[in-house]
Amino acid sequence: MIRVTVSYPAAEGAAFDHSYYQSQHRKLLLERLASFGLKAVEIDRCIADGAGGPAPIVAAAHLMFDNLEGFKSGMAAHGKEIMADVARYTAIRPGIVISEVV
């Protein structure tokens, strides 16, 4: 199993529509990627760092896939649409990390 983590770094003055991200963008991910092995999407609204200061990221999504090939195939088929939807909730460029769940 793999986890794809998509995070949005905090940027002064940058807007982020958490409501759209949690409802509409999550729905889009599930609709487009389920047939490629997407098992779950968890979303974080980041509130603080470990010392109680401002969070270094504003939000993150964790997508659980059966395998890396499923993620790659799903993004090849629907990546342009998924990435185009980002502009509907933020101008922040996301960072992506792919991990093997051990």
Over the stretch 73-100, which tens digit does the pLDDT of each residue have?
999 999 999 999 999 999 999 999 999 9
**Residue 12: inside a domain, yes or no?**
yes
The predicted pLDDT at position 41 comes to 97
**Residue 19: inside a domain, yes or no?**
yes
Tokens at residue 3, please?
């986890």
The predicted pLDDT at position 77 comes to 98
**Residue 57: inside a domain, yes or no?**
no
Number of structural domains found in the chain:
1
The predicted pLDDT at position 46 comes to 96
**Cα 64 to Cα 70: distance, rounded to the nearest angstrom:** 10
**Residue 59: inside a domain, yes or no?**
no
**Cα 85 to Cα 102: distance, rounded to the nearest angstrom:** 31
**Residue 88: inside a domain, yes or no?**
yes
**Cα 6 to Cα 22: distance, rounded to the nearest angstrom:** 13
**Residue 39: inside a domain, yes or no?**
yes
Tokens at residue 51, please?
């010392």
Alpha carbon 53 to chain centroid, angstroms: 23
Identify the band that residue 3 occupies on the pLDDT scale cut at 50, 70 and 90.
very high
**Cα 27 to Cα 20: distance, rounded to the nearest angstrom:** 10
**Residue 11: inside a domain, yes or no?**
yes
The predicted pLDDT at position 80 comes to 97
Q: What CATH number should be reported for the domain holding residue 40?
A: 3.30.70.100
- Residues contacting 44, CB < 8 A, separation 6+: 59, 60, 61, 62
Over the stretch 17-68, which tens digit does the pLDDT of each residue have?
999 999 999 999 999 999 999 999 999 999 999 999 999 999 999 999 999 9
Provide the domain limits for residue 22.
2-51+69-100
